[in-house]
Structure 1
Amino acid sequence: MGCTYGFRYKQEEHLILDFEQSLSFASVQSKDFAKSINNHSKKLKLTEKQFIAVIKELKIDITESISRPSKAKQLFERFLVGELYDKRSLILLGILYGKGSLEEKAKILFLNYSLKIILDTKEIKNMIHDVIEVALVHALKSAKTCVSDNYSNEKLKKYYYKLNKYKPELKKYYKKLLIKDFSVGIKLDEFILIIQDKFVSKILCPSKIRSMAFRLGGGKTVFTESRV
């Protein structure tokens, strides 16, 4: 995933990172992940049959047993509503946890949320919300499901509540970074340039998002003016 940084991990963060880094689709290129999903469904949802076709095409292992749950399946099923998977959310998982350059991932992220040639402020807010939900909610709850001992399970539960207290500050921070100069919307080339900023680029790495949540929640001043 390319998300290494100088964050002082707690035991809980190690558990989540272990979960994230061992996802069976982490070796898949983000662009291949998005392409396969879009090829199998032109709508906003995927049927179980379409989802399985994507999994087989990309050779993603979701087999599991009583003693060994599939980490990837646990995360995918967070976006299963009834009998349909949310297409946008699955592509987002491929962006956040798959392989690819910053520019490639920025382009896929833009296309995943833009309704036209412009990514408007409403969709930027939706994107920020969805990314934060993956980093602070879905990854934690999925990791918790895959942990067998009660001690670690309880620590992840407390960690979840601690992190999610900082959601409002985190959303405000990324909105300031992504929207402040674009009251109407952002074009693709502008978005790619913005994502390459050293502060904004952290939005593509769930572990860095969690680290930022603690920095903001702890009352630390975070510099946001590096973009030119």
Structure 2
Amino acid sequence: MVSAGYAPAGQSDFYPRLLQGKAVLKITVIADEPTEGFLDDLRALLAKHAAHVEVDTAWNPDRISRYYLALPPRSQRILEEAVARGGYVSADDLRGDDPDASLKGHSGGLTRILNLGIRKGWWPDGIEPPVQAHGPGFGKVVGYGIRTEQLDLFRDTVLTLPTQRLNFLAEEIAHRDDPWDDELVRDALTIFKLAIDLDGARVLLRHLVETGLLAKNAAGFYRRTTDTADQD
């Protein structure tokens, strides 16, 4: 099934508008389980009109979620660690307690799933890889980073998915009556070698409020929803 239509701006992804005196038509194609033939035809159509078509190659929450959840566990860890640590994770941090541990193959899934998504039409060809390897070259990698302009969006999306940090924090909150704030979240996770910066800690707290596990009281602390706000 392919959906298409027109509506005024703000009501749908399909609408005509004027840009610099020229008519601009914004079109979103939604296809349920598209076949390879359909995708090939769509790519051919876009290529034919490439001079007049601007493809949306930006990451958005839906694309990020699909990307992260499709990654193998070791590649998921690289992405989670990078967004939780402020946009960069070193190779040494990924090795943990074993400085001689090999990271060979850990990052392969990042590229493999990116290319799989292009083939399946999850995102367009030309979308930028979200994770960049850092190093002196010659295959040596010293760390992985998220582009600065994409960090907030990736942090806000990835950390609300079933990551190690979210699962661990939810478990801790379920068994502790303590009030929480961003610094306490950071310290609790760091003790268990799940480093996170304060921005990431605030994302986790906001998400757990949205899920109903936490409520923010007048003092600015977060408590389990079974606790009363005046216990502080």
- More strand per residue: 2
TM-score where L is the length of structure 2: 0.29
Which has the higher relative contact order, 1 or 2, with Cα contacts under 8 A spaced 6 or more apart? 1
Rg comparison, structure with higher value: 2
* TM-score when normalising by structure 1: 0.29
